[in-house]
Structure 1
Amino acid sequence: MIVPRTRLLLWIALIVLPFAAVGATIPGAYLIAAVFVGGLFAAVLVDAFLVFGQLTGVRVQLPEIVRLQKDRPGVLEVRIHNDSLAARLLRIGFAFPREIVPEMDDRTIMLPANAALSRLDWPATPNRRGQYFLEHAYLEAVSPLGFWAIRASQPARSELRVYPNLFDERKNVAALFLRRGQLGIHAHRMAGQGRDFEKLREYVSGDSYDEIHWKASAKRGHPVTKVFQIERTQEVYVIVDASRLTAREIDLPGSRTTALERFVTAALILGLAAEQQGDQFGLITFSDRVLSFVRAKSGQAHYDACRDQLYTLHPQSVTPDFDELCSFIRLRLRKRALLIFLTALDDPMLADNFARASELISRQHLILVDMLQPVGANPLFSDENVSSVDDLYRRLGGHLQWNRLRELENVLRRRGVRLSQLDPAKLAAQLIAQHADVKRRQLL
């Protein structure tokens, strides 16, 4: 498609209108007016014919995958191929999704002569994590005389992956990842009452009958004792709820986000901490069904796989199905593992469903349930700032909610499940502290 430019309109205003007026008012001047007007129209027609070749041989190439972080500036690398090797003035633009804010909507650049390839960096800042696509590049070139511009679109597909922003969160827990004063210290295998079999040895007076290996004793003709080592590598699974309650917005210092956003960020930070402690990290996401399952492993490739499962996770308007989730865990996870649920149980019906479903897996696995502390769920007389009847009823409602959560905590404790209400701003640090406490106490 060709469109007129401002230069064409300006020349028409400077030549056509004045000479048309002169030719119409002054006798004998119409020939001169016709020459100037006709010459301009001839130049305009020739320029319109030549503009069709201005985008010939120009191709825009984008990377197949661009990885960005939420709320952090990133760069989209644009490569422009110029097969004709001619100098050209080119205007280029992209239809970015509204979740990604570019530094500019379009740019005008000069393609240098004798350069078959030009590179252009396009800054952009995403404001929401997820998966987005660029489908086309929009180009505009100017005719040789500048009277016309030709516009066209070219297929230029690129996948934009916006990951959670872990930069600020890692600064808050940076001290937990440091190893100060440990130069020359190495990890040693510890023998003791662990769960991993280490070796067999001769029976010593005082050994428990539970530690005797009866088959080996029968073969050797004398008692043989089993020796175990403390488990150094354990499986840690973070189970992220993506149902309706996780779409609720929460206030953080200087920002506002959703509960699921905090769960996703904290899960990835905990994955880094688990690998730092030598454990294997796994992931399960669910809503009214199990959405994804990544078996516990370690390594950078495995961490990237977990991150790829989380960056497209968004809240769904459904009720979580804890029965199906626990049945799935019962069938898939045979080895005892630490299961950390990131969910919301302030709904009494959901709390009852979880308490009933957790009985299926609570004897096999160590279960920690973490939820964000509800706003206002405090004991009745914990706040003295009550100045109206509305404040009084608000405190009563918060007390009832606090009391229900205390009762739920007691019910889950009797089933071997620990419920914790965590601070949204310190969620990642508190999860790391829970994992460290489990390691220290050797609860697995």
Structure 2
Amino acid sequence: MLKFIRSLYFGKRLFYALFGISILFLISFWFSPLYSITWILTSVLGILVLTDVSALFRVNGIEADRILPEKFSNSDDNRVVIEIANKYGFRLNAEVIDEIPVQFQKRDFLKQIRFTPHKSIEFEYFLKPLERGEYIFGNLNIYVSSIFKLAKRRYTFNKDQMVKVYPSFIQMKKLDFLALDQKINLHGIKRIRRIGHTMEFEQIKEYVRGDDVRTINWKATAKHGNLMVNQFQDERSQPIYSIIDCGRVMKMPFEGLSLLDYAINSSLAFSNVALKKKDKVGMLSFSNKIDHLQKASSKLSQLSRIMEALYNVNTGFYDSDFSLLYSRVKKYISHRSLLMIYTNFEHMSGLQRQLPFLKALAKQHLVVVIFFENTEMIRLTEIAPANLSESAHQTIAEQYAHNKSLMARELQRHGIQALLTPPQDLSINAINKYLEIKSRGLL
């Protein structure tokens, strides 16, 4: 009985009808013939309500399921599918309210559907998480009513479904093609000027437009009568490490994501491309201590290990200890490696404090320091000032942006590769930097 009461609701039409009947009873105080008619209408309404409730509760006429992917991709649109089957023998009106995880702070989900008898329907919606972790869905609530819409019956399904949000593997798949063809050159995607290479000989092939004329094989050209060139392949199995700063400087948010999440998404996409290039990839995260260290490997399972490690990486409010990073790298990474260090410097003084440790790392390894442009400051420099106050703010923003460029030059002056990038372009630019280093044979 309690279950019946909890699942029974009444529609707006019933309350409108009761309000109308109340008005008629009031009017019948002065016009007595209306009193009998009002009671007849009340009886008819009661019969309709009982019929409606009986039809809805006679059988369990709704089956539904919320279909979730195995995992969500952070900062991407993830598809959620709702399947509903109508087993009633009459038309239904349904209101679907899905209890979305609290992380989304979305409390206005409502989907209105009309069902034909004994038919099924499917619809989808998309969720874009901005934090990694476990997301728990509540009830999938379906309120059904007949054509009278006097009463409703609530069905609930799929309580407490959980899905984990991992670093952006969708972004990783989108950038996967960059590892397949060195000649791909799409506007805004791959911007590499090939300067030189240290590659191993692979084969002799016929010259096509775009091949480096310096690789022409003149003996083979004379023999075949057509221009022939030597084709080379990249050096294989070089150790590549993504080193992620988890200190407080990485908590700064841009467009809903922290700098740490941008770095994590980029590390996953970059590691996938490096594995496709037959290099060994590893990962290290640190702040005031070493959080995770995944030794470089070229095994196919390495990407899964890195994803699981990145899933648990979090930032705090501690200052990052670059001296600890140097000591751990010197102890555990003995071979010359490419170190992609994701961090951020807001002031030249912050860079100067860490520069001795970066220079020490650069003596044994090829170090690429990746830090971020402040896009809000850049946007401020592009706005025409309307008054003196805005002009002063713009001047400070321009100085701030110029200091970022000075930091990149300071790193390069000490033989350290620098990549200054907007957060939203981080993955593309990091992969381009890696491919440039491969093509130049710097490692």
TM bracket, shorter-chain basis: 0.5 to 0.7
Query: 1:231-289 CA deviation, whole Å, 9 max, x = no partner?
Result: 62111011122322223356xxxx79754454344434432432343212222233333
CA distance in structure 2 between the partners assigned to 1:29 and 1:418 by the alignment? 94
**What runs of 5+ residues in structure 1 fail to find an aligned partner?**
191-229, 378-386
The root-mean-square deviation of aligned C-alpha atoms, in Å, is 4.8
1:325 has 2:330 as partner: no
State the partner residue of 1:270. Answer: 270
Structure ranking higher in strand proportion: 1
Query: 1:183-210 CA deviation, whole Å, 9 max, x = no partner?
Result: xxx97589xxxxxxxxxxxxxxxxxxxx
Q: 2:124 aligns with which of 122, 125, 129?
A: 122
Q: 1:423 aligns with which of 421, 424, 428?
A: 421
Query: 1:124-175 CA deviation, whole Å, 9 max, x = no partner?
Result: 252635343323212212268531223354415142637548769968x977
State the partner residue of 1:44. Answer: 49
Query: 1:289-332 CA deviation, whole Å, 9 max, x = no partner?
Result: 33434333346654355345546756533321223434443444
1:241 has 2:245 as partner: yes
Counterpart of 1:149, as a letter, is K
- Give the count of matched residue pairs: 377
Pairing of 1:41-80 with structure 2 (within 5 A): 41-45=46-50, 47-48=52-53, 51-52=56-57, 58-63=63-68, 65-68=70-73, 70=75, 72=77, 74-80=78-84
SS of aligned partner of 1:78: strand
Pairing of 1:9-408 with structure 2 (within 5 A): 9-15=15-21, 17-18=23-24, 21-22=27-28, 24-26=29-31, 30-31=35-36, 33-45=38-50, 47-48=52-53, 51-52=56-57, 58-63=63-68, 65-68=70-73, 70=75, 72=77, 74-80=78-84, 88-97=92-101, 105-111=109-115, 113-114=117-118, 118=120, 120-126=122-128, 128=130, 130-131=132-133, 132-142=135-145, 145-151=148-154, 153-154=156-157, 155-159=159-163, 161=165, 163-164=167-168, 177-180=180-183, 232-248=236-252, 259-298=259-298, 301-307=301-307, 309-310=309-310, 315-347=315-347, 350-351=350-351, 354-355=354-355, 357=357, 364-372=364-372
**Percent identity of paired positions between Structure 1 and Structure 2:** 17
Instruction: Tell me if the contact between 2:368 and 2:419 (Cα under 8 Å) persists in the aligned partners.
Output: no
**What runs of 5+ residues in structure 2 fail to find an aligned partner?**
1-5, 185-198, 204-233, 378-387
CA distance in structure 2 between the partners assigned to 1:133 and 1:286 by the alignment? 29
Counterpart of 2:150, as a letter, is F
Instruction: Tell me if the contact between 1:77 and 1:119 (Cα under 8 Å) persists in the aligned partners.
Output: no
> Residues 108 and 312 (structure 1 numbering): CA distance in 2 closer, same or farther, change over 3 Å?
farther
CA distance in structure 1 between the partners assigned to 2:329 and 2:265 by the alignment? 23
Give the structure-2-normalised TM-score. Answer: 0.64
How much has 1:335 moved relative to structure 2?
Answer: 4.0
SS of aligned partner of 1:44: helix
Query: 1:28-82 CA deviation, whole Å, 9 max, x = no partner?
Result: 775554344244335435645665557666443433635356354x421123366
Report which of the two structures shows the higher radius of gyration computed on alpha carbons. Answer: 1
State the partner residue of 1:435. Answer: 434
CA distance in structure 2 between the partners assigned to 1:426 and 1:27 by the alignment? 79
> Residues 89 and 436 (structure 1 numbering): CA distance in 2 closer, same or farther, change over 3 Å?
closer
Query: 1:351-410 CA deviation, whole Å, 9 max, x = no partner?
Result: 455345557755554333232357999xxxxxxxxx989888888888788767766665
CA distance in structure 1 between the partners assigned to 2:71 and 2:392 by the alignment? 55
